Chain A
Amino acid sequence: MESSDIFKNYFGVFRDIIRMMHSTNSLEEVLNLGVRRTSKVLNAKGALVRLLNKTTHQLEVRAAWGMDKRYLSKGPVSSDKLLPWDKGGKKIHIISDILNAPQVAYPQHAWDQGIRMMLDIPLIVNSQVIGLMRIYLTEPRQFLDDELDFMITVAEQFACVIERLRLMENQKAHYNHLALHMEKMSSLGRMAAGIAHEINNPLAGILLYSSSLIKKVPPESPLEEGLQIIMSETQRCKVIIQGLLEFSRDQEPQKAPANVNDILDKALTILNNEFYIHHIRIDEDLENNLPLTLLDENQIEQVLINILLNAAHAIEKDGIISIKTRMDIEHAKLSIEIADNGCGISVKEIGKIFDPFFSTKPSGTGLGLALSYGIIKNHQGDIRVESQSGKGSCFIIDLPILPSDLQKKEGSGDLK
């Protein structure tokens, strides 16, 4: 093939990918087009795309073209395979000796399929490797530098589209999950209000009689302990129902301009003793110029206390809680990060932590985070968690900054 034809073909692929970028919202479609067009332009037997799963840190097969079906069912491989590019290199790896190359996981299988050469092209966005495309060729050949350069450019565009669509899909999944969650919580709230009254009446009977009886028990009687337990368990029910009621109540925040750093300070002061007892160090890294934001100070304080207490409980002893506040003017939001080096949350449990009544603590009501979640949503914010079992958790709260909040900050600057 004439080199001008080769480049004409590359341009075709390039154009297709750019067009896809604007016309489809399906990651699958884009990936399939990518492997198909690239294979064709290189006259390859096939191609395969593996993308990095950021949670499991593994490379998963997401699309394949022209290869034996079994290739699609290949399991994930460790992200170590991306190491060659981690230092920022963008080079394409040409694997000519496929039977002995360490990067090839199934050399014999490939050989039997007639593969004699492979190209590994990294998919890089913002200098982060998000995956890799492998091209399978049936005969070894030489590539011009310009050709390799062009492949890298195509891969860059391809990677950008993939990343954008992945973000979109994640957001969509996230919001679907949120909508469902809110629905569940509001029906629970309605039910809770009804139950609370019904349960509190019998509890009142139990508590009045047991607290009255305990005074009539002769000293040293074993009855005393039993009655004490009945009383404290009844009080516990009261606390649970109180939590439920708070949950069901209209949580419309009473917003007033406040500084998130000040609220954090207040929450930390309240919990000072708790941290001291458990030998927990607090590392603060607060944004100096946070604007005043419209929010319900009490509610946000409650959220911060909930999260800080959870962090303290996740740490058995001698832990560190790192607190960070940041402003993101571009996205008109500020974020609060609270990270601990405690026990972390298992993959199995992480999806449930904002559900009402989910608790890992023996005496927990399971309402703290559910309530926090509701509060942040009512502030049009977002709350999420990143965690690794055994290493710790990080809660991230985003709160919107209104353009007027920013003006206020500038305004206050002028007054000085």
Chain B
Amino acid sequence: MKPVNILVIDDERVICDACHLILSEKGHTVERQLSGKSGLEALESEQYDVVLLDMMLPDMDGMNVLKMIKKERPEVCIIVMTGYSTVSNAVKAMKLGALDFLAKPFTDDELVAAIERVCSDGG
């Protein structure tokens, strides 16, 4: 697939770094943000194809961040990541416009597959 521009929003630095490492190796550009607020700010100044969004952020509720991204940048593909995965959580995130759902912990292959899936679905 062609390289895409990805933003990772997760307060866990290790996860941001891991996603950065794995996705950069696939040729994608990856930026990391550790809070909901800084993530939204990054979205204002830069055009992203995919956002990997953690649902539990220290400063904002992940669902709210999701809503705000969809409002400001409806074209961005959003993949939700969560450590507390329930079916109802996933359904709620999908209803709000997320395209995929990664339950932590996940492997590099699952991560790469999710990115490929949303990019091909998104056209």
**Chain A residues packing against B (C-beta within 8 Å):** 193, 196-209, 211-212, 215, 231, 234-235, 237-238, 245, 249
Q: What is the distance, in angstroms, from B18's C-beta to the closest C-beta of chain A?
A: 4
A202 vs B109: C-alpha distance when bound (angstroms): 18
Contact A201 B12 (CB under 8 A): yes
Contact B106 A196 (CB under 8 A): no
Contacts of B12 in A (CB 8 A): 201-202, 204-205
Of A198, A203, A215, A249, the contact of B105 (CB 8 Å cutoff):
A203
Within B1-35, which residues are at the interface with A (CB < 8 Å)?
A: 12, 14-15, 18-19, 21-22, 25
Q: Flag whether B108 is at the interface (Cβ < 8 A).
A: yes
Contact B19 A208 (CB under 8 A): yes
Q: What is the distance, in angstroms, from A219's C-beta to the closest C-beta of chain B?
A: 19
Contact A204 B108 (CB under 8 A): no
Of A203, A212, A215, A249, the contact of B104 (CB 8 Å cutoff):
A203
In this complex, the member of A196, A200, A215, A234 whose beta carbon has the largest number of chain B beta carbons within 10 angstroms is: A200
Contacts of B18 in A (CB 8 A): 204-205, 208-209, 212
Q: What is the distance, in angstroms, from A212's C-beta to the closest C-beta of chain B?
A: 4
Contact status of A207 and B86, CB under 8 A, knowing A197-B56, A212-B21: no
Q: Flag whether B120 is at the interface (Cβ < 8 A).
A: no
Contacts of A200 in B (CB 8 A): 83-84, 103-105
Contact status of A231 and B107, CB under 8 A, knowing A202-B14, A249-B86: yes
Contact A211 B86 (CB under 8 A): no
Q: Flag whether B90 is at the interface (Cβ < 8 A).
A: no
- 27 contacts across the A-B interface (CB closer than 8 A): A199-B83, A200-B83, A200-B104, A200-B105, A202-B12, A203-B104, A203-B105, A204-B12, A204-B14, A204-B15, A204-B104, A204-B105, A205-B14, A206-B105, A207-B105, A208-B15, A208-B18, A208-B19, A208-B22, A208-B105, A209-B21, A211-B108, A212-B21, A215-B108, A231-B107, A234-B105, A249-B86
Contacts of A237 in B (CB 8 A): 105
A263 vs B12: C-alpha distance when bound (angstroms): 44
A388 vs B19: C-alpha distance when bound (angstroms): 53
List 5 additional contacts besides A201-B12, A204-B81; criterion CB under 8 Å. Answer: A196-B84, A200-B84, A205-B14, A209-B18, A245-B86
Of A197, A208, A235, the contact of B83 (CB 8 Å cutoff):
A197
Contact B15 A205 (CB under 8 A): yes
Contact status of A208 and B106, CB under 8 A, knowing A197-B56, A202-B14: yes
Q: What is the distance, in angstroms, from A233's C-beta to the closest C-beta of chain B?
A: 11
A71 vs B83: C-alpha distance when bound (angstroms): 64
Q: Flag whether B118 is at the interface (Cβ < 8 A).
A: no
Q: Flag whether B114 is at the interface (Cβ < 8 A).
A: no
Q: Flag whether B42 is at the interface (Cβ < 8 A).
A: no
In this complex, the member of B21, B85, B107 whose beta carbon has the largest number of chain A beta carbons within 10 angstroms is: B107
Contacts of B22 in A (CB 8 A): 208, 212
Contacts of B106 in A (CB 8 A): 204, 207-208
Q: Flag whether B111 is at the interface (Cβ < 8 A).
A: yes
Of A198, A209, A211, A245, the contact of B109 (CB 8 Å cutoff):
A211
Q: What is the distance, in angstroms, from B74's C-beta to the closest C-beta of chain A?
A: 28
A212 vs B12: C-alpha distance when bound (angstroms): 18
A209 vs B111: C-alpha distance when bound (angstroms): 12
Contacts of B104 in A (CB 8 A): 200-201, 203-204
A206 vs B105: C-alpha distance when bound (angstroms): 8
